[in-house]
Chain A
Amino acid sequence: MLESRKILAYLLIVVAPGLSTGSHAETDCSTDVSIHCGKTPSATFASDGRLWATFVQGQHVYVSYSDNQGAAFSAPVTVNPHPEDIYTNGENRPKIRLGNDGQIYLSWTEKTRGMHTGNIRFSYSHNSGKSFEQPRTVNNDGLLTSHRFDQLHVSPSGLVYLAWLDKRDQVRARSSGEKYTGSAVYYAVSTDSGQSFGKNFKLADHSCECCRLAIAPAGADGAAVLWRHIFNASTRDHAIALLSADGKVGDFNRATYDNWQIEACPHHGPDLAYSMPGTYHMAWFSDGDDQKGIYYGRYNFSDGSVASVRAIDSEPGASHPQVVELAGHVFFVWKTFDGDRTRVQMIESLDKGETWSALRTVASTDADSDYPILVKYADRLFLSWHVEQSYRFEQLWPGSDKRTKSD
């Protein structure tokens, strides 16, 4: 065993010079810092094809890159020099996004003192990931309360959007003896490549307090956000809105109608993908009176309509859907569990979500696993999936037959 490890390590040194963290086979998680050993990894491609990944290990956020589509990763660089407690669960993970001129942006949620509290943290690198700027807290209320579930987006024009769930209004309401349901959605924008953020803007009161937000591009400068909202004090369906850099936000709209009456934490946030101007693909989970399971729907901002709503999977154990549009295809993946095996299932649509292909299992495991995450690069689709102590990064589309033709 030890011998084979040595051989593997040797092979790696010879075969992949300059890469200190290779495939996970030779990684020892009791001593090594690596994407395999870390928690809640995710990744994004730069335009030059370099894959940039982030993960949490211990009390640090790390960044590492791969020039061979995830087969081997560079030595991780520490983002936060001072240790801090960091939320790492499916709904709370560090985010990595890239600017147009090589900037690398990171956000995460720091776990602060007491229960259900946190701060929205941000850092960036302007030297190609060699080092990161001192992290800063973006929520500006100075309150020890919940500022969590960060979501990060860079607009095509280079504006950096950071959105999150915030309980400052609940704290204020409580101090004046009023009742306040759930959290609020807040956001802030940086117009100088992350060096500073403008004001904290409030987008909406009364969001669900325990589900991730989804964010997608909207024009050159904006962003679209989808989140689980609390309608009429107890209905936890979804709301959608457009964000602008000046903080002028219109009313948000209702995006799903499942009628999930529940005073509970679903821990199950939605996903959102850009289709064409004003139109977005949505993926979500509900256990409502009217609709239960994993759903697809298409939202149109021009008239507030939701089209092509479809139950994708109503089986027990179906969870955490993701949707993406790429080269005229809409891809939808989610996770299933049958008591023994966890599978990542995929379907695709060639007509913007009107009709869908038969289901295909694209990955599976009998070990504990993270949420499946879709990653685009040019006209290719990849799956980022952390399974126990192994980070898997695999091309999903085009499949091997089509790849031969196009490559």
Chain B
Amino acid sequence: MLHRPWVLLLLVLLSVQAGAELKPFRADTIKEIQARYQGQPFLLALWSLECPPCFKELDMLARWLKEYPGQNVVLISTDDSSVADQAWQVIEKYNMEKVDGWIFSDDFAERIRYNIDPNWHGELPRSYFYFADHTRHAHSGTLSEQILTRWVGQQ
């Protein structure tokens, strides 16, 4: 905050391009993501602006990623694209701009959810730990650093 006007200008510039950074996640995007990380472990983490515990998780995840910067993380907002700007502001708040970020962008959210996992009922946060062979383990509720670190050990 040394040069306050400069900070403000930066914020304005960032907000102008806000939203552009979250890619549209559609009904078949899950396949695209799985193909992109073929042969690699990754964490698929779903969150929403409407979910207070998700913010706790994002905060923890941001801290954890500083310790484990090489881990693949895919962050998906289940809000719709009309609030992409707000979702992006949250990503910025937690300094996760470089994380592979997406936002639900299909009017039929149930179909997107079903394609990710028919057994997921929409509760948030929801996460999937993918191993290198893409077997995966689902988790509902806020993640902890211990769970994440244990997963790294299992990879």
Known: A115-B55, A264-B141, A287-B140. Contact between A339 and B124, CB under 8 A? no
Q: Which of A116, A262, A287, A342 contacts B52 (CB 8 A)?
A: A116
Given contacts A287-B121, A317-B118, A319-B122, contact A264 B51 (CB under 8 A): yes
Q: Are A285 and B121 in contact (CB under 8 A)?
A: yes
Please name all residues of chain A whose beta carbon is closer than 8 Å to the beta carbon of B114 when the two chains form the complex. Answer: 316-317, 337, 339
Interface residues of B in 88-129 (CB under 8 A from A): 90, 107-111, 114-115, 118-126
The reply to whether B142 and A264 form a contact with Cβ atoms under 8 Å apart is yes
Give A116 to B50 CA distance when docked, in angstroms: 6
A246 contacts partner chain B, Cβ-Cβ < 8 Å: no
Neighbouring B residues of A261 by C-beta, 8 Å: 141
Q: Which of A89, A287, A342, A369 contacts B50 (CB 8 A)?
A: A89
Indicate if B54 sits at the interface (CB-CB under 8 A): yes
Among A285, A319, A339, A388: residue with most chain B CB under 10 A: A339
On chain A, the residues within 8 Å of B142 by CB distance are: 263-264
Q: Is the CB of B109 within 8 A of A265?
A: no
Could you tell me the distance in whole angstroms from the C-beta of B84 to the nearest C-beta in chain A?
15
Q: Tell me if A209 counts as interface (CB < 8 A to partner B).
A: yes
Cβ contacts under 8 Å, A262 to chain B: 123, 140-141
Restricting to B29-53, which residues have a CB under 8 Å from any CB of A?
Answer: 48-53
Task: Say yes or no: A264 contacts B124, CB within 8 Å.
Answer: yes
Contact status of A264 and B50, CB under 8 A, knowing A317-B118, A367-B108, A368-B110: no
**Total residue contacts A-B, CB cutoff 8 A:** 77
Known A368-B109, A388-B107: A265·B124 in contact at CB below 8 Å: yes
Interface residues of A in 137-183 (CB under 8 A from B): none
Q: How far is the CA of A60 from the CA of B123 in the complex (A)?
A: 29
A283 to chain B, nearest CB (A): 15
Are A339 and B107 in touch, CB under 8 angstroms? no
Q: Give chain A's interface residue range (CB within 8 Å of chain B).
A: 20 to 34
Q: What CA separation (Å) do A316 and B55 show in the bound complex?
A: 27
**A265, A285, A367: which has the most chain B beta carbons within 10 Å?**
A265
A267 in contact with B122 given A337-B110, A367-B108, A368-B109 (CB within 8 Å): yes
Secondary structure at the A interface, as helix, strand, loop or mixed, is loop
Contact A316 B124 (CB under 8 A): no
Contacts of A319 in B (CB 8 A): 121-122
CA distance A267 to B121 in the complex (A): 9
Q: Given A210-B50, A317-B114: A268 and B107 within 8 A (CB)?
A: no
**CB closest chain-A residue, reference B49:** A115
Interface pair A266/B121, CB less than 8 Å apart: yes
Interface centre among B50, B55, B109 (most CB of A within 10 A): B50
| Across-interface contacts of B122 in A (CB, < 8 A) | 266-268, 319
Residues of B within 8 Å of A285, CB to CB, are 121
Q: How far is the CB of B14 from chain A (nearest CB, A)?
A: 18
Residue pair B123, A265 in contact (C-beta under 8 Å) = yes
**Ranked 3 nearest A-B pairs via Cβ:** A316-B118, A368-B108, A264-B141
Known: A264-B125, A339-B115, A367-B108. 13 other contacts (CB 8 A): A89-B50, A115-B52, A116-B49, A210-B52, A264-B123, A264-B124, A265-B124, A267-B124, A316-B119, A368-B107, A368-B111, A369-B110, A388-B107
Question: CB within 8 Å of A: which residues of B?
Answer: 48-55, 90, 107-111, 114-115, 118-126, 140-142
Q: List 30 A-B contacts (CB under 8 A).
A: A115-B52, A115-B90, A116-B49, A116-B52, A210-B51, A262-B123, A264-B123, A264-B126, A264-B140, A265-B50, A265-B51, A265-B52, A266-B121, A266-B122, A267-B50, A268-B122, A268-B123, A287-B123, A287-B140, A316-B119, A316-B121, A317-B114, A317-B118, A319-B122, A337-B111, A339-B114, A339-B115, A342-B110, A368-B107, A368-B108
